[in-house]
Amino acid sequence: MENGTKKLNVSSLAVEQPLPKSKLWKIIMVASIAAGVQFGWVLQLSLLTPYVQLLGIPHKFASFIWLCGPISGMIVQPVVGYYSDNCSSRFGRRRPFIAAGAALVTIAVFLIGFAADLGHASGDPLGKGSKPRAIAVFVVGFWILDVANNMLQGPCRALLADLSGGKAGRMRTSNAFFSFFMAVGNVLGYAAGSYSRLYKIFPFSKTPACDIYCANLKSCFFIAVFLLLSLTILALTVVRENELPEKDEHEIDEKAGGGGKSKVPFFGEIFGALKDLPRPMWILLLVTCLNWIAWFPFFLYDTDWMAKEVYGGKVGDGRLYDLGVHAGALGLLLNSVVLGFMSLSVEFLGKKIGGVKRLWGILNFVLAVCMALTVLVTKVAEKSRQYDAHGTLMAPTSGVKIGALTLFAVLGIPLAVTFSVPFALASIFSSNAGSGQGLSLGVLNLAIVVPQMLVSIAGGPWDDLFGGGNLPGFIVGAVAAAASGILALTMLPSPPADAKLSTTMGGFH
């Protein structure tokens, strides 16, 4: 960093006493765990909203299930991160938390996949209608799953930082591999979700209480758990953690809130960081918040939109709804492929357009247009409905399908920027202000989880207010994306010209 800039506050002596760099293959093995985590995460995004409705949870209440993600993101990640920093286990600082997270994922997947079977065994009726026991099992499993995912991601990223030995180049490399394996997990997850006969690999998955859709979901989770456990066990078996220098006790006392007596230092640091945030970071938080208000309705209801509005299916009515869900998963697969290629081009395009903040602003308008176009695709699908000789509704025309899938694919372009630019700008702004990188990124995470909570609470009732369906939430997303674009172009400061953008993919658990 050039002379004249403020010196960064460091949270440990590890920066001053760099660790020896680990071999690249070790970093790749730890980063590969992201593929298993992301595989399970995209299954949640693409398949679980329709699944909860099959269990009898109304659409307007389904969004409340997703409150687990932001709540665990606000609490679990800071808590696990703090205790993994200070863990003195003979197995290492990060590895016990990674292993515990993988074990909890296994338990959660069992509860989610077998919720209908366990509910039926406990007295739930077969067929349509609410299944309260199955819902209870599912909710417990879902909350455990989100907590476990948060337990995994934070320590995995921290372990990559430890293995990088404090070297910036190796840090960029490890983050690039983590992003690559997240993209791999996306592709695998959406490919599995789009295949409607996966349950035949596990014939026992289809039961009287679990129909074909449920059996496919169960089979997807079986594969996800196998992938996650295989990658985690392999990585934790062959990769050992480096010994880190002891932290300065006086500095720990100060970060704990004075005197070292704070019982919740992680919350103290978060609130302290919010109090002293520079203006550029506040603007970044606002732009990021609006950006995620735009994204979350699509993340939560994309496959449900394809199944209901595009295909004209109804929950529990079988063929058309299931076909729509799998078509939506195919759209998300295309989205992930575009996302992967676009992620490699963000820095180049930013230079060509005149800066990454301008690129972010422009692509937020692309996001707004795509969200608004869901209304057009829906109306065209409704007008072009076709029925066979028996009066049975048929799948939408090829033109409607292509239009919907094109929207999914194009949305991968702004998504790549959403997963990279805000995190890079937070690092740049915090460096200029002399703030800690990790803490600043933790504060940025609040601008992601708070919108998720807002959408989870208000999304279902808002859609229900306008007669149900997903379009009202998508329209709000379009307005929020446009507002985010305007603020990014007019108020967000440009980063220094010599700041290099690292296109690191960020999660939103």
> Residue 186: its pLDDT value, please?
84
> Does residue 460 or residue 83 have the better pLDDT?
83
Q: How confident is the model at residue 264 (pLDDT cuts 50, 70, 90)?
A: very low
Q: Could you tell me which residues are beta bridge partners of residue 387? A: 393
Minimum mean pLDDT among 20-24, 263-267, 290-294: which range?
263-267
> Residue 247: its pLDDT value, please?
44
> Residue 13: its pLDDT value, please?
34
Give residues with Cβ within 8 angstroms of 452, minimum separation 6: 66, 69, 70, 73, 292, 296, 508
> Residue 6: its pLDDT value, please?
38
Q: How far apart are CA 430 and CA 422, in angstroms?
A: 12
> Residue 244: its pLDDT value, please?
45
pLDDT, average across residues 420-428? 71
| pLDDT of 488 above 60 | yes
Q: Which residue has the tokens 């079988």?
A: 318
Q: 21-241, what's its fold?
A: Growth Hormone; Chain: A; (1.20.1250)
Q: What is the pLDDT of residues 175-199, one digit of tens each?
A: 567 767 877 888 888 777 767 777 7
Measured in Å, how far apart are the chain's first and last C-alpha atoms? 32
Provide the 3-class DSSP secondary structure of residue 387: strand
Burial of 272 (0-12, 13-18, 19+ CB in 10 A): middle
Q: How confident is the model at residue 496 (pLDDT cuts 50, 70, 90)?
A: low
> Residue 1: its pLDDT value, please?
38
pLDDT, average across residues 491-503? 59
> Residue 353: its pLDDT value, please?
86
What superfamily in CATH does domain 274-508 come from? MFS general substrate transporter like domains (1.20.1250.20)
Q: Which residue has the tokens 């009066």?
A: 391
> Residue 318: its pLDDT value, please?
65
> Residue 460: its pLDDT value, please?
65
> Does residue 241 or residue 166 have the better pLDDT?
241
Cα dihedral sign for 125, 126, 130, 135?
positive
Provide the 3-class DSSP secondary structure of residue 393: strand
| pLDDT of 5 above 60 | no
Of these ranges, 3-7, 197-201, 335-339, 409-413, the one predicted with the greatest mean pLDDT is: 409-413
Burial of 243 (0-12, 13-18, 19+ CB in 10 A): exposed
Q: What is the pLDDT of residues 59-71, one digit of tens each?
A: 666 666 766 667 7
The separation between CA 132 and the C-alpha centre of its own chain, rounded to angstroms, equals 28
> Residue 503: its pLDDT value, please?
41
The separation between CA 263 and the C-alpha centre of its own chain, rounded to angstroms, equals 30
pLDDT, average across residues 416-441? 64
Q: What is the pLDDT of residues 289-328, one digit of tens each?
A: 999 999 988 887 888 899 889 998 887 666 788 888 888 8
Q: Cβ(304)–Cβ(378) under 8 Å?
A: no
Q: How far apart are CA 435 and CA 439, in angstroms?
A: 8
Give residues with Cβ within 8 angstroms of 317, minimum separation 6: none
| pLDDT of 230 above 90 | yes
Q: Cβ(107)–Cβ(291) under 8 Å?
A: no
Instruction: At 166, give phi and psi (nearest 5°).
Output: 75, 10
> Residue 490: its pLDDT value, please?
92
Helices and strands in the chain, H and E counts: 21, 0
Residue 127, sorted as left (phi over 0), alpha (psi -120 to 50) or beta, turns out to be: left
> Residue 474: its pLDDT value, please?
92
- DSSP structure class, residue 5: S
Domain boundaries, the chain: 21-241, 274-508
Q: What is the pLDDT of residues 23-50, one digit of tens each?
A: 788 888 888 898 888 888 777 766 676 6
Q: How far apart are CA 114 and CA 51, in angstroms?
A: 12
> Does residue 472 or residue 253 have the better pLDDT?
472
Q: How far apart are CA 181 and CA 504, in angstroms?
A: 12
Task: Read off the tokens for 182.
Answer: 């997240």
Burial of 75 (0-12, 13-18, 19+ CB in 10 A): middle
Please write down the HEC assignment for all residues of 199-252. Answer: HHHCHHHCECCECHHHHHHHHHHHHHHHHHHHHHHHHHHHCCCCCCCCCCHHHH
> Does residue 192 or residue 471 have the better pLDDT?
471
> Residue 78: its pLDDT value, please?
66
Percent over 90 (pLDDT), the chain: 17
> Residue 379: its pLDDT value, please?
93
> Does residue 477 or residue 448 have the better pLDDT?
477
| pLDDT of 253 above 50 | no
Burial of 373 (0-12, 13-18, 19+ CB in 10 A): middle
Q: How far apart are CA 388 and CA 391, in angstroms?
A: 5
- DSSP structure class, residue 65: G
Task: Read off the tokens for 305.
Answer: 């939109």
| pLDDT of 163 above 50 | yes
Q: How confident is the model at residue 405 (pLDDT cuts 50, 70, 90)?
A: very high
> Residue 176: its pLDDT value, please?
60
Query: Distances in Å between the alpha carbon of 430 and those of 226, 278, 395, 435?
Result: 39, 8, 51, 5
Please write down the HEC assignment for all residues of 118-138. Answer: HHHHCCCCCCCCCCHHHHHHH
- pLDDT, averaged across the chain: 75
Task: Tell me if domain 21-241 and domain 274-508 are identical in fold.
Answer: yes
Q: How confident is the model at residue 417 (pLDDT cuts 50, 70, 90)?
A: confident
Of these ranges, 81-90, 333-342, 361-370, the one predicted with the greatest mean pLDDT is: 361-370
Q: How far apart are CA 97 and CA 277, in angstroms?
A: 30
Q: What is the pLDDT of residues 331-361, one digit of tens each?
A: 888 888 888 788 777 777 877 888 778 999 9
Q: What is the pLDDT of residues 117-127, one digit of tens each?
A: 888 888 777 77
